Amino acid sequence: MSWESYVRKVTPYVPGEQPKDKNIIKLNTNECPYPPAPKVRELLKDLKYEEFKLYPDTEAYPLSKALSEYYHVSEEKIFVGVGSDDVLSMAYLTFFGSDKPVIFPDITYSFYDVWAELYRIPYKQIPLDENFKINFKDYYSENTENGGVIIANPNAPVGTFEPVSKIEEVIKHNPDSIVIVDEAYIDFGGESALPLIDKYDNVLIVQTFSKSRAMAGMRIGYAFGCEKLIKYLKDVKFSFNSYTMNKTAIELGAVAVQDEAYFKETCNKIIATRERVKGELSELGFTFPDSKANFIFAKHNTVSGDEIFNALKNAGIYVRHWNKDRISDYLRITIGTDEEMDKLIGFLREYLKK
């Protein structure tokens, strides 16, 4: 062995499949089934290619300004990045520098342990209860000494939403740690913990354009926190790469945020489809935690997760499945258009008859 012993070895995060075949019904990575806001398309036509010779704005103007206006939060309290994965990764690097473990649930976004491994941050996974619910008291520093907390609300891949009051208790009980709230799915019926940034200096709220704003391909994520916290985050980011977001994403992201009516309409359509599909899945013998996200985490009462996953895949319907302890019988099904969900339900109805 030569240089290989010096390599930073990691087991990477495995993203859901992106099939080349456009005929696949893609319900495996929680993308939005509808296109981005119409204004995005208009601006795309007007973008001036000559401007690509310049570096993008370091503060991501006009995106930062559009977010500031939409959420009524000053720009000093906003951080943006290349998808929330980039924002979360920078937050790990910035805030999780203690020798004490960062804590998060055993069943949650599977990137949380990957970043901890990458940055050599100790971590501890706390089991969800038998109904896949978070026992919030486990996250109080007096019960689990920690160097940071990260919780997804709604939790992925489970889908359940917990009231902001419970998140607030975790923040209160961790005065010496940063609590990150990953709100990737907050726009599908949950309530954001955003107001807490004015009450506590140890909370970072992270959101994304990838799910509710139909811009996964543009890679835009953002976070809210008190000024001091955001300043530390920016210091680390500027020590890493000053120009992470590209000009196109910054400009298109800004107009996407400005189209509130379209955003609300899309989210409401997805919520309506989700509620209908819940009823249909129940009739077919599936059970699932009640979801407030754009997916349902469902298990059939007789057929294994693996079997249904493969049958769906062969039929050109992709969902997500993990061969992992506690969840191997579950399928995470993204909410697509009504037509896509009709095809899914239609297939399952025939398949499960056999």
Ligand X SMILES: *Cc1c(COP(=O)(O)O)cnc(C)c1O
CB of 215 to ligand X, least distance (A): 9
Taking the complex as a whole, the smallest distance from the CB of residue 346 to ligand X amounts, in Å, to 27
Nearest approach in angstroms of CB 82 to ligand X is 8
Cβ at position 326, least distance to ligand X in Å:
18
End-to-end CA distance of the chain: 55
Residue 60 exposed, middle or buried by CB count within 10 Å (0-12, 13-18, 19+): buried
Residue 61, helix vs strand vs coil: coil
Q: Among the residues of 148-259, which ranges form H helices?
A: 164-172, 227-238, 247-258
In the complex, the smallest distance separating the C-beta of residue 84 from ligand X, rounded to whole angstroms, is 4
Give the residue with the Cβ less far from ligand X, 194 or 348: 194
Q: How many CB atoms lie within 10 A of CB 54?
A: 8
As a whole number of angstroms, the distance between CA 252 and CA 232 comes to 27
Looking at residue 230, its amino acid is I
Backbone angles phi, psi at 218, to 5 degrees: -85, -15
Closest CB to ligand X among residues 174, 208: 208
Q: Which residue is nearest to ligand X (CB)?
A: 83
Query: Measured from the CB of residue 53, what is the shortest distance to ligand X in angstroms?
Result: 28
Nearer CB in complex with ligand X: 188/348: 188
Tell me the residue type at 324: K
SS3 of the chain: helix, strand, coil, percent, to 5: 40, 15, 45
Of 8, 202, 243, the residue nearest 114 (C-alpha): 8
By C-beta, is 207 or 273 nearer to ligand X? 207
The two structure tokens encoding residue 116: 């901890």
Q: How far is CA 41 from the centre of its chain?
A: 24
Question: 184 or 348: whose CB is closer to ligand X?
Answer: 184
Q: Distance (Å, rounded) from C-alpha 196 to C-alpha 265?
A: 27
CB of 105 to ligand X, least distance (A): 11
- Measured from the CB of residue 251, what is the shortest distance to ligand X in angstroms? 18
Closer to ligand X by Cβ: residue 28 or 210 = 210
Q: Which is nearer to ligand X, 108 or 300 (CB)?
A: 108
Return the structure tokens found at 107: 């069943």
**Residue with Cβ nearer ligand X (30 or 174):** 30
Chain residues in the site for ligand X (CB under 6 A):
30, 83-85, 109, 152, 156, 182, 184, 208, 210, 216, 221
Q: How far apart are CA 212 and CA 200, in angstroms?
A: 27
Residue 284 exposure: Cα atoms within 13 Å on the Cβ side: 24
